């Protein structure tokens, strides 16, 4: 078994007696983009939350560059600095301006000075074309703009991996493109990413590997060309027929 940069093996997670993740094995190499696809409720969000230690796991091992992610003695705050996460509902902090949303982690977690953090945030904002919205409250931005800010808020910590949970699902269709463009940029720049997504076109274009989950099991994984054109498993075929 090869050991990727992010390596998950035998991952089990239950809520009560509902087994939400059942023996997940997967590897993510550096600079790769892995897309998780699967019906709603198949466990994609839970898997991402486990990788970021937002949920305790019941069994298995998650390793990031050789360091265990969960278990006794793991400094989760240290781990989370290395792993960025973006949520479906953006989760910007409503009491902070756009730029403060981006500055807060560099300042309060990484101990960066205010001036330096601001400069960094401004650079990131310029990159997504929102430099002129720096002092707005998040609720004055469109959904697409908010999600772009959430992405660079995560990037401000220079994470080694970025986890994205259906980041375009809450958006109006005409706003999806601007967010996907940012993600494509990030992929091109070599960012390691794991995304749960329903955007099959995007997965096809950007993913290095696609993983299909169903009822908490990783049914099939492979390069997008293979998964989307000649899936091996009947369940994958059935899901894709409905999704495409």
Ligand X SMILES: Nc1ncnc2c1ncn2[C@@H]1O[C@H](COP(=O)(O)OP(=O)(O)O)[C@@H](O)[C@H]1O
Residues that bind ligand X (CB under 6 A): 15, 20, 38, 40-46, 196
Alpha carbon distance 126, 242 (integer Å): 39
Is residue 154 at the binding interface for other proteins, with CB under 8 A as the rule?
A: yes
Is residue 109 at the binding interface for other proteins, with CB under 8 A as the rule?
A: yes
The residue among 8 and 20 lying less far from ligand X, judged by its C-beta, is 20
Q: Would you state the structure tokens that stand for residue 66, as one six-digit string?
A: 């050789």
The residue among 45 and 192 lying less far from ligand X, judged by its C-beta, is 45
The residue among 50 and 130 lying less far from ligand X, judged by its C-beta, is 50
Is residue 176 at the binding interface for other proteins, with CB under 8 A as the rule?
A: no
What is the 3-state secondary structure of the chain? CCCCCEEEEEEEEEECCEEEEEEEEEEECCCCEEEEECCCCCCHHHHHHHHCCCCCCCEEEEEECCEECCCCCCCHHHHHHHEEEECCCCCCCCCCCHHHHHHHHHHHCCCCCHHHHHHHHHHHHHHCCCHHHCCCCHHHCCHHHHHHHHHHHHHCCCCCEEEEECCCCCCCHHHHHHHHHHHHHHHHCCCEEEEECCCHHHHHHHCCEEEEEECCEEEEEECHHHHHHCCCCHHHHHHHHHHC
* Residue in 153, 197, 219, 231 binding other proteins, rule: CB under 8 A: 153
Is residue 111 at the binding interface for other proteins, with CB under 8 A as the rule?
A: no
56 within 8 A of 134, measured Cβ to Cβ: no
Which string of x and - marks every residue 27-66 that binds other proteins (by CB under 8 A)? ----------------------x--x-x------------
Is residue 103 at the binding interface for other proteins, with CB under 8 A as the rule?
A: no
The residue among 171 and 227 lying less far from other proteins, judged by its C-beta, is 171
CB of 110 to ligand X, least distance (A): 30
CB of 165 to ligand X, least distance (A): 7
Alpha carbon distance 101, 238 (integer Å): 42
CB of 95 to other proteins, least distance (A): 5
**Subset of 72-131 contacting Mg ion (CB under 5 A):** none
Which of Mg ion, ligand X, other proteins, none sits in contact with 81, Cβ below 5 to 8 A by type?
A: other proteins
The residue among 48 and 210 lying less far from other proteins, judged by its C-beta, is 48
Is residue 216 at the binding interface for other proteins, with CB under 8 A as the rule?
A: no
């Amino acid at each position: 078994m090869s050991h990727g940069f992010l390596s998950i093996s035998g991952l089990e997670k239950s809520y009560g007696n509902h087994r939400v993740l059942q023996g997940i094995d997967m590897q993510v190499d550096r600079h790769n983009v892995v897309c998780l696809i699967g019906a709603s409720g198949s466990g994609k969000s839970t898997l991402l939350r486990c990788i970021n230690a937002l949920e305790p796991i019941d069994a298995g091992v998650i390793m990031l560059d050789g360091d265990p992610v969960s278990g006794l003695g793991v400094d989760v705050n240290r781990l989370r600095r290395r792993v960025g996460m973006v949520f479906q509902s953006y989760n910007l902090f409503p009491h902070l301006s756009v730029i403060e949303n981006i500055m807060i982690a560099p300042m309060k977690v990484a101990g960066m000075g205010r001036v330096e953090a601001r400069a960094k945030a401004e650079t990131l904002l310029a990159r997504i074309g929102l430099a002129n919205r720096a002092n707005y409250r998040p609720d004055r931005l469109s959904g697409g703009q908010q999600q772009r800010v959430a992405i660079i808020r995560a990037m401000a910590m220079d994470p080694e991996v970025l986890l994205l949970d259906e980041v375009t699902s809450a958006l109006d269709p005409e706003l999806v493109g601007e967010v996907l463009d940012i993600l494509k940029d990030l992929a091109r720049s070599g960012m390691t990413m794991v995304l749960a997504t329903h955007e099959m076109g995007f997965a096809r274009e950007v993913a290095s590997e696609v993983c299909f989950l169903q009822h908490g099991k990783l049914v099939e994984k492979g390069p997008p060309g293979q998964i989307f054109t000649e899936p091996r498993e009947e369940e994958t075929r059935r899901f894709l027929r409905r999704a495409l």
